[in-house]
Amino acid sequence: MPTASEEMIWLKAARQGDPHAFSQIINAYSGKIASTIKGMLGNCAEAEDIGQEVFISFFRSIDRFRGDSSLSTFLTRIAINHSLNEIKRKKRWLNHNNLSSIEELEKYPAPGESPETHQRKEMIRKAITSLPAKFRSVIVLRLIQEHSTEETAAILKLPLGTVQSRLARAQKKLKESLNPPSGRKS
Amino acid sequence: MNKKMKNLLYQSFDTPLGDTDRQRLGTALDTDENLRNERDAITDIRQNAAALLFEPFRPEFTKQVLARLLSLSHNVTLSPELFYASLLSGFRKLAWAGGLAAAALITIHLLGVDTLSQENAWILSDFSIQELLSLSVF
C-alpha cells in the first residue's frame, strides 16, 4: 500500500490531468477494488466493468475528494456503492426473466487447492453472495478485507452500532445456511 | 443456549468486552456445549472468509480505464446531447415535484371543505364563470 505522502503526490498530479498519476493510483488500488467487487458480486463477468466504473467515477469527481478519509477508504466506498447498484440491477433483471436466484449468474474458477478446502471456501463464498446486500457489505469489509468495525462503519457511512448488529445478524445467517438446524448437535 | 450469552458471544468477535461481560461469557462457554459449538462454527466461518482469495483484474485493466477516461473527457466536452439530456432530466424532476405539491395542496384543501366535489377540488365553488373569465382577462 502506498504511503500518505505518495498518495498526496499522485492526487496532486492526477488533478492536473497527469495520466501517469492515474496509472499509479489504479495500480495501487485495483487489487483491493477487485476483491471488494468480487466479494460483493462473486466472480461474475461484470466485475471488471464495475471496477472500471469505480476508477472513472473517482477521477471524474477527484476535485471533490478532500482527504477526510484515506484514498483507500474513499475508493472502497465507491466500489461498494457500485456493487450495490449492480445487485439491484441484477435483481430487476432476474425478476424480469423469472429466474430464482442471483447465483445462477455466477461462475467460480477452480483454484489450485485441496478439494476439501476449495469446497468449504466455495460454500462460504456462495453463502456470502446469497446474503441480502446490506449484510453482504459488512461481511466483505469486516471479514474478508479485515477492516475494523470503525473503518467498516466509516466506509458504509453507518453508525457503529448498526454495523455491529448487522455483523451479528449476517454471521447468524451465514451459520444457518452453512450448518442448517437439522445438522446441529443437541 | 442463553440468548443473552449468544448475543454477547457474537459481540465479542468484533468489540472488546468489559471485564464483567468477558467473565460471564467465559463461564457460559465453560458450561454450555451449544454455545461452544456456536463459537467454533463462527470462528470457522470467519477464518475461511478471511482466507478467501479473489482474482485481480486482468493486466490490461489500467490501460482500459485510461483509454475510457480519455474518450470520456473528449465526449463530455464535445457532446451537446449530454447537456440536453441532463437538462431534460432536471425538468422531469421539477415536473414531478410540482405535480406532487399540487396534489398535496388539493388534498389539504379537500380536507378543509364540507363536501367533496370536483368544484371544491379545483377551488372553483366560490367563483362564477363570469368572475373567472374576468380574472383571466386581467
> What is the tens place of the pLDDT at every residue in B87-121?
566 677 788 888 888 888 878 877 776 666 666 66
Question: CB A38: neighbour CB atoms within 10 A?
Answer: 28
State the virtual CA torsion across B95, B98, B103, B106 in degrees, nearest 10: -140
Does the beta-carbon distance from B49 to A120 stay under 8 Å? no
pLDDT at A45: 82
pLDDT at A106: 38
Distance, CA of A150 to CA of A128 (rounded, Å): 21
pLDDT at A142: 96
Residue with the larger pLDDT of the pair B119 and A42: A42
Distance, CA of B112 to CA of A89 (rounded, Å): 44
pLDDT band at A154 (very low <50, low <70, confident <90, very high): very high
CB interface of B with A, residues 48-67, below 8 Å: 48-58, 61-62, 64-66
pLDDT at B106: 78
Q: Is the pLDDT reported for residue A112 higher than 80? A: no
Q: pLDDT tens-digit profile of A118-151?
A: 788 888 988 998 999 999 999 999 999 999 999 9
A15 touches chain B (CB under 8 A): no
Does the beta-carbon distance from A164 to B38 stay under 8 Å? no
- Half-sphere exposure at residue A124, Cβ-oriented, CA atoms within 13 angstroms: 25
Contact criterion met (CB below 8 Å) for B28 and B20: no
Question: CB B91: neighbour CB atoms within 10 A?
Answer: 9
Residue with the larger pLDDT of the pair A83 and A181: A83
Q: Is the pLDDT reported for residue A105 higher than 50? A: no
Question: CB B7: neighbour CB atoms within 10 A?
Answer: 13
pLDDT at A184: 46
Farthest-apart Cα atoms in chain A, separation: 65
pLDDT at A63: 86
Residue A8 cell numbers, joined: 498526496
A101 touches chain B (CB under 8 A): no
Contact criterion met (CB below 8 Å) for B121 and B106: yes
Find the residue in A nearest to B13 (Cα). Answer: A168
CB interface of B with A, residues 75-114, below 8 Å: none
Does the beta-carbon distance from B50 to A23 stay under 8 Å? no
> Distance (Å) from the C-alpha of residue A110 to the closest C-alpha of chain B?
11
Q: Which member of B15, B50, B61 has the closest CB to residue A51? A: B61
- Angle in degrees, CA A186, B2, B6, rounded to 5: 95
Lowest-confidence region among A29-33, A36-40, A89-93, A170-174 = A89-93
pLDDT band at A182 (very low <50, low <70, confident <90, very high): low
CB-CB neighbors (< 8 A) of A34 in chain B: 54-57
Domain boundaries of chain B, sorted by first residue: 3-51, 67-119
Residue with the larger pLDDT of the pair B56 and B129: B56
| CA B111 from centre of chain | 32
A52 touches chain B (CB under 8 A): yes
Segment A164-178 shows an average pLDDT of 94
- Of the candidates B105, B135, B99, the one whose C-alpha atom is nearest the C-alpha of residue B121 is B105
Does the beta-carbon distance from B41 to A34 stay under 8 Å? no
Dihedral class, residue B53 (left if φ above 0, else alpha if ψ from -120 to 50, else beta): beta
B3 touches chain A (CB under 8 A): no
pLDDT at A186: 39
DSSP assignment letter at B58 = P
pLDDT band at A180 (very low <50, low <70, confident <90, very high): confident
Residue with the larger pLDDT of the pair B12 and B97: B12
B71 touches chain A (CB under 8 A): no
Does the beta-carbon distance from A174 to B45 stay under 8 Å? yes
Report in angstroms the alpha-carbon separations of B132 from A117, B113, B115: 81, 20, 21
Q: pLDDT tens-digit profile of A89-101?
A: 887 766 665 554 4
Q: Which member of B13, B38, B62 has the closest CB to residue A26? A: B62
Q: pLDDT tens-digit profile of B40-62?
A: 999 999 999 998 888 899 999 99
A35 touches chain B (CB under 8 A): yes
Q: pLDDT tens-digit profile of B24-36?
A: 999 999 999 999 9
Q: Is the pLDDT reported for residue B66 higher than 90? A: yes
Q: Which member of B15, B53, B58 has the closest CB to residue A149? A: B15
CB-CB neighbors (< 8 A) of B38 in chain A: 175
